[in-house]
Amino acid sequence: MVVYGIKNCDSVKKARAFLEHGQIAYRFHDYRVDGLDAALLQTMIDAVGVDALLNQRSTSWRQLSDQQKHDLTPETARQLMLDVPTLIKRPILNTGTQWLVGFSSDLYQTLV
């Protein structure tokens, strides 16, 4: 099981605490430390779709130019997420059989 995100994100902290409290083994992949390559991002996109991954409520999104926001295609969204990984919703959990986007204790409870 792998949790993807950045260590100082509150949602990532909640997800990690939930998994640790439930004694669920996982590996943490920090985009800032471990990086994000095109192949990993494409795997995520293939699993859940661009719309599920792109966080249009984030501070990073608000910092984009209006042109970047309005000229959005799946390919430009993919490139933006590669360039600015904080545009990706967090956390992303890969259980090995499914991908979960965001943290919900109810959803994570199904893992226990």
Tokens standing for 45?
């996109």
pLDDT tens digit string along 48-86? 999 999 999 999 999 998 888 888 999 999 999 999 999
Q: Catalytic amino acids? A: 9
CATH value of 2-109 in 3.40.30.10, 3.30.200.20, 3.40.50.2300, 3.40.50.720: 3.40.30.10
- DSSP H or E run through 94: strand 92-94
Model confidence, pTM: 0.91
Q: What is the pLDDT of residues 6-32, one digit of tens each?
A: 999 999 999 999 999 999 999 999 999
For residue 73, give both structure tokens: 């295609």
Distance in angstroms (rounded) separating the CA atoms of residues 59 and 67: 17
Of 110, 40, 54, the closest CA to residue 87 belongs to: 54
